[in-house]
Amino acid sequence: MRLIEFYFPSIFGANYRTHLKNIRNLCLDLVKEYELKFKSSDENSIHSNSSLASQLKMPDNSSKQDERLLSYDLFASFDGPTHVKSEYDAYLEEKVLRRIKDFDILVW
């Protein structure tokens, strides 16, 4: 979400807050739908999904891509809002991890 907060002002100008709110609401609706649909899922389906994810590889970031995101890194290093309304909001408001080339989400 922080990446969207960084780029939306340059994309939408003064009207970026409306678009940002729409994206946040869509994500919240998606989380609620997911919670309802998978609330009663059993452990076996969770393990099969994690084993599938472990087989996927992330592509390497090029140095050009790294250069383009340096200003985002600076933006993301600042603290965001501190109020928490839900687990989803808490997730969105967590500090952004620094980008590293060999990041492995499964190890994190």
pLDDT band at 26 (very low <50, low <70, confident <90, very high): very high
pLDDT of residue 9: 92
Tens of pLDDT, residue by residue over 46-104, are 555 555 555 555 556 567 777 777 877 777 777 665 454 678 778 878 888 787 888 77
- Measured in whole angstroms, the distance separating CA 34 from the mean position of its chain's CA atoms is 16
* Cα separations in angstroms, 19 against 14, 26, 41, 46, 83: 10, 11, 33, 33, 21
Rounded to two decimals, the pTM is 0.47
Structure confidence at residue 37 as a pLDDT band (50, 70, 90): confident
Residue 22: partners with Cβ closer than 8 Å, 6 or more residues away: none
